[in-house]
Structure 1
Amino acid sequence: MRNRYTLSAYYSHVKDMATPYYYEEDGIMFQSMLNGGTARNLSLMAQTIVNPFKWWSMNVSAGYECQNMELSDYTNESHAFALDISTMFTIRGGFNVNGSLRYRSDAINGLNIQENSPVQANVTVNKNFLKNRLRVSLGCADIFNSNKLKKRSVTLADGMVRKIRNNIGSRSLTISLNYNFNWGDNVMSRPRDFGSSDMDSRLGRN
């Protein structure tokens, strides 16, 4: 089977943007908004689908993003690289396994919080019953609990230094039951790609 390749580019220029700002006082983290700044985003992405076997399909994409933020008293430019591999295959007993693996370099999320999640893995197992009308799914997002926020300090115009010490884990377990009341066989749709995300959402643009 011949592979198909997709190349895409994205650029945005936003003025008078509203940007979340996080700071800590007496051990409590607060969030406020700053506006009047400028944000520029440039993204490049390549994607292809690989089918090693009839029962195994993989979607591979790689991307690069440059994010620039300019406020009256703060300027930051960050560069991020991401590699996504999504795979789906069928094992014995009619079980479908849907997994994804994502690598990304550090990127700014807000003004003074930095993501620290170089690798994130997700997996879902699906099984259909009752002539494909009932689907039972068990999924785990961020298996290694790697999507955390590390502390970052920023000195603002008022001379104060804000520091964040919080770590936020994102591992989650999901169990779902889906029943389709339509008559006939093969009424269930393709298993959901649990836990996958694109570069826009990971960089806070959604």
Structure 2
Amino acid sequence: MDLRKKIFLIDKTIDTINEKKLSTNKEALQLLFHHTRDLNKSVNDSCSIVVSEVKQIWEKAETPTQENSRCVAKLIKLYTDYRDAQKSVSRNNERKEQIVCNNLEKLFDIAHGNTFAMIDKETAEFLIDQRTQRMLHLKFNSTNIDLSPVPGVLISSPELNTEIQLNDEFPENSSSTHLLTATSHVVTSPEKSLILQVLHEQSMKSILVEKV
């Protein structure tokens, strides 16, 4: 057994990412460590490579992303926070470790700040799902996005009155009850209506699945 493959909190490296969903923070770190540990590349070079690969999935999902430099900076910060948590283990700082652990399964969110004004309803529904339940996946045909939930999995009905956060990314101490972290710009009434409509339709689909 190669003990070097066992990595704090994220288990192991991966040499490719899931092309059917937008990558989580954990997947981004797993791929990053593949380049730094397995291929002996620098952290900065590895972050650039990982962002490039992650962005390809966002392009397939037809979802605009932030500038490359901002995405790389976001991944470097994620890596730095992860390493700080790793060091804190010896100091019994469980809080810092827990914050990083809770963040791992969240979307590595590099959406453009004005995303919801730039995408159609179906794409918006996919992005919201990837930020929350992560039940939808991409399929490579004329429509690209499969809006059917994964078979055999029950989906909890979300709360429709949940607060919508208006910032670029999930806040560090955000609650899992936040369905959507939207954008840093001022949301217009039509855009807010689109978001709420998508959330409502997701809720109706969830209820139908639970009744089956």
For Structure 1 versus Structure 2, the TM-score category normalised by the shorter chain is: under 0.3
TM-score (normalised: structure 2): 0.24
Larger RCO of the pair (alpha carbons < 8 Å, separation 6+): 2
